Structure 1
């Protein structure tokens, strides 16, 4: 950062955060920026409206899916040590790994787990097991309850299941539980001194809780569920820490695997491998994927990113190697993702001078909608696509597998598991924008709101892609 840059960034973020939180009823928000040896952290508002506890610079929060980059780091460490081979079948190390489709698990390689190309259809699979055997129970349940979306390596679909299987794989080859391994091989060498993996540990220090709008008053109300079950740990269910901790982790990946304290966490080769494109859908709403990282193109600049939802909260971690910058933030209301997108856009365009081209410049008329009409499914999710008044319309329905999973998902979603029908307007064949949004809304992180359709066969598409997740035509 140049002279006065830290103060300028801090003032800008503080003003932007205060204005947005007031207008969008986000109780609390905390953000941090590191660049070229300088670091600032801004905290605003309330960590828990039930207690009135303030959001402080060192308030802890749930990492959510940001954890996936930590899990990938653990996998690459074991590859470096010769314990794992990225191109070996998962069943080499985890012989009891199976899916509901006979033989399907045998084709999945270790790299498919952390590259979101495994095809495991388990994105909403929420078993509630607890304790040391939680991941073993998760993997066991896959064999009877979860099939496949596609052949491994054929497509890209954001995969919670793949990361959780990777977590169990790590337990088997190291002999440690996932929380123990995370603490030993990431938290400690990175210097994440305020990070933990359980509510029992988090309660010993200041920790934020998520909030949802009260259905009657629409005022922010604390979530009824602090964390997802232990079964979701490696995908982001349980790890908790601070902005300073995530900045330290981001700086480690900026520095080729060397932590701020000088401890070698990962080799430069492995760090670079995580940042290299391993699969590209070629669709604007789904950025290319590395290993662990999603590689967002902003013009000529690549942002390594991962966002994470937790019950009533959302986090984000962004690393910009070309500008030696790390940005991370957490807000304790799902609406905070819009603020995170705004802050990232400001940092890139105004602070760094990155020219961000328009992702969508115009809408195409007269697109044939018939190839997209039909029903698409993935684990416990149904999407019905139809043509209404000459427009594409989607109805998304949650179809719980059992009462336990329904309870967990309902709490995770804040009680609302259904949404009104959504109309979409064509950008071009196979790519659609939700009706009513200004086109510039999709230039940043919120390009995930676009919907795409892929793999046309006999005049019909096989896959729908929403938020980076695939559903398959049935």
Structure 2
């Protein structure tokens, strides 16, 4: 690829970032692209409005759930070394692993943890433990606190709990604390020289903080919480690094498990297995899941992706194997995901020439809404679904388990835990779009805004899926 083409990409990202940040109260944004041996990084705006520190090419940020691909890489490394078997029950290696329902944990295989098919109902479980025993405390707490949403392998539901259990499993089979293992087995061999695993390390260098819109002025204000508790490390609560570091990690997966420096990080077979479909719900709003990676189809082109929410910020890592491209980005308000989606779609369509077909091509009329009406629940979350003016209306309520859970979740959400009712229009039976959005909105990463309902029995859906997460009919 000629260098001029990537310079065009650099100019385009700079232009898009400046326009979006100015119009959307996003203080700062940083993005990078590696394509066919060439690489660029673009930084714009402010890393922290409280200090006025600029967002720089090498400003650090929280990886958020992008960490889940790293956790999965660590699990596959141990499988390569014979310390783990993906198709063995987790309790074989981690006997203390249990859930509130007797015997439920015994059915969960190692594979279920990293393919988001484990059914652990713990998506909003935030025990506030710190230090080297944090993951042990998390697993201990599951036994009395969290049940299951479905039988392992029966459904797909984005699982923070599964990844955290995977982190504790890694500690058990290696004898090494998760953070030390991440630094030794991923950061080091990949060449992620600016990455860390704690706020104490990150403060020693330039690091961005998240922001939320002020309820009165809508101006961006810094988050009051930098990281989630240490218990959430393997799911993305604490790891921090730069765009260049994420590009290096993406390039390692692009190259079949070999880092940019030539170090083999993961076997070619395990790298390939992470890309293969583990579960497909066959609905447009939930892309097929690999191991760690989410497989976003854009026509015939697959984008391996994972986004990562942190308090007031969002990261994104995308690998496009068919076109030798890696894209990484971070913006320090949650709305930055829309900018990341814009850039990804432009990279695919204009830079790579990948056709992006419409995800929704037709809308059915007179869809029966009655199978979806009812109350759906998951850990500390309730969704009440009714029919209003011919549309579905959803009311989402956060139901904290205790004061500690409420404090952590409220800080993570920027001080608010309630949302106004949301109306949805039918696309077809079981699939709905938020009212007022043009259908082309959902052609890219924002297809996650669609809501689907599954497993209709006796005229009633058993599950609702929003943002890749299941709630179960109460």
1: CA distance between counterparts of 2:34 and 2:301? Answer: 17
1:361 maps to what in 2? 361
Which residue of structure 2 aligns with residue 64 of structure 1?
64
Alignment correspondent of 2:283: 283
Q: Give 1:266's aligned residue.
A: 266
**Equivalent residue of 2:384, what SS?**
strand
Name the residue aligned to 1:419.
Answer: 419
Q: Secondary structure at the match of 2:224?
A: coil
Q: Indicate the residue corresponding to 2:153 in structure 1.
A: 153
Shift of 1:375: 0.3
User: Is 1:315–2:315 an aligned residue pair?
Assistant: yes
Equivalenced residues, count: 474
Name the CA distance, whole Å, in 2 between partners of 1:18 and 1:124.
34
Please list every run of 5 or more consecutive structure 1 residues that lacks an aligned counterpart in the other structure. none
Contact 1:47 1:208 in 2 (8 A): yes
Runs of 4+ in 1 over 2 A off after TM superposition: none
CA shift at 1:414, angstroms?
Answer: 0.4
Aligned to 1:350: 350
How big is the shift at 1:364?
1.4
Aligned-pair CA distance for 1:398: 0.3
Separation in structure 1 between the aligned mates of residue 415 and residue 30 of structure 2, nearest angstrom = 25
Deviations 1:362-418 (A, max 9, x none): 321100000000000000000000011121110000000000010000000001100
CA contact (8 A) 2:432 2:451 kept: yes
SS at match of 1:95: coil
Match of 1:91 in 2: 91
| Maintained 8 Å contact 1:298/1:357 | yes
Which residue is 1:449 aligned to?
449
Deviation at residue 217 of structure 1 after TM alignment: 1.7
Q: Name the residue aligned to 2:44.
A: 44
Q: Which moved more, 1:382-391 or 1:32-41?
A: 382-391
Q: CA RMSD in A?
A: 0.5
Q: Does 1:119 align with 2:119?
A: yes
Q: Is the 8 A contact 1:285 1:468 kept in 2?
A: yes
In structure 2, C-alpha distance between the alignment counterparts of 1:97 and 1:127, rounded to whole Å: 16
The SS at the match of 1:384 is strand
**Distance in 1 separating the partners of 2:452 and 2:151:** 19
Cα deviation for residue 3 of structure 1 reads 4.3
Residue 401 (structure 1) aligns with: 401
Query: 1:217 and 1:393 mapped to 2: Cα distance?
Result: 28
Deviation sequence 1:184-228 (CA, Å, 0-9, x none): 000000000000000000000000000001122211000000000
Is contact 2:3–2:38 with CA below 8 Å preserved after alignment?
no
**Matched-pair contact (CA < 8 Å) for 1:363–1:425:** no
Q: Is 1:185–1:265's contact at 8 Å kept on the other side of the alignment? A: yes
**SS of the residue 1:4 aligns to:** helix
What does 1:178-257 align with in structure 2 at a 5 Å threshold?
A: 178-257=178-257
Q: Give SS of 1:234's match.
A: helix
